[in-house]
């Protein structure tokens, strides 16, 4: 793979992480270096990890992985998004709502947004490309997109006094439905 192809692949893989980070930024509303680094690092870590694991699993397990990967992503995003929608509509105090800085929540988001990277990693096993270069670029691009997303979401969250957790929850559910539809009907 050429460098341009790897970067385009990384951009494509990082789109779900971008959407999740915008939502996270809107919820936390304070864009500090630590918060941006925490969210972006976890999302980038899972993108890189799942690409690597997919590569190591190799082509022989592709059909097994494809059989359930979309259900895992859909379930996680439906749960997290549904929880955000419910919390938004239940008028809970801000301190009781889902915290995107919680490591457990972040790991769930990281797994849910990285399922596609697992399948990409499996397909990369067939190519004669530098795995370390590909994984590094995927992690870097995801980190950059997620960092931008958190800051952008934070600015939007501070300027617009909407139910952004409701909108964010619906976005997460939408991403989950998109993943499910793509795998069930478009593949």
CA distance 118 to 49: 8
* Residue 131 confidence class, pLDDT cut points 50, 70, 90: confident
**Predicted pLDDT at 60:** 61
Rounded to the nearest integer, the mean pLDDT of the chain is 82
- Burial (CB < 10 A; 0-12, 13-18, 19+), residue 25, is buried
| Contact criterion met (CB below 8 Å) for 89 and 165 | no
Mean pLDDT of 69-84: 76
Q: Quick check: helix, strand or coil at residue 76?
A: helix
Q: What is the pLDDT of residues 77-116, one digit of tens each?
A: 788 778 778 877 776 555 455 688 888 989 998 998 888 7
What average pLDDT does this structure show over 136-142? Answer: 97
Residue 34 vs residue 184, higher pLDDT = 34
98 within 8 A of 165, measured Cβ to Cβ: yes
**pLDDT for position 95:** 47
pLDDT tens column, 7-39: 888 988 888 888 889 888 988 878 899 999 999
Structure tokens at 34: 């630590």
Q: Which residue has the higher pLDDT, 144 or 101?
A: 144
Grouping H, G, I as helix, E, B as strand and the rest as coil, residue 92 is coil
């Amino acid at each position: 793979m050429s460098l341009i192809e790897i970067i385009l692949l990384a951009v494509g893989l990082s789109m779900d992480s971008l959407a999740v980070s915008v939502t996270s930024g809107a919820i936390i509303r304070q864009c500090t270096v630590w918060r941006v680094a925490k969210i972006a690092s976890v999302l980038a870590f899972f993108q890189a990890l799942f690409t690597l694991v997919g590569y190591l699993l190799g082509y022989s397990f592709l059909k097994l992985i494809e059989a359930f990967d979309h259900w895992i992503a859909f379930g996680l995003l439906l749960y997290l998004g549904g929880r955000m929608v419910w919390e938004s509509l239940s008028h809970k105090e801000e301190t009781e709502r889902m915290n995107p800085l919680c490591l457990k929540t972040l790991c769930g988001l990281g797994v849910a947004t990285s399922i596609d990277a697992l399948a990409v990693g499996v397909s990369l096993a067939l190519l004669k490309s530098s795995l370390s270069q590909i994984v590094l670029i995927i992690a870097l691009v995801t980190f950059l997109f997620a960092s931008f997303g958190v800051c952008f979401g934070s600015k939007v969250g501070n300027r617009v006094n909407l139910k952004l957790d409701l909108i964010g929850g619906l976005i997460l559910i939408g991403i989950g439905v998109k993943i499910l539809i793509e795998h069930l009907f478009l593949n």
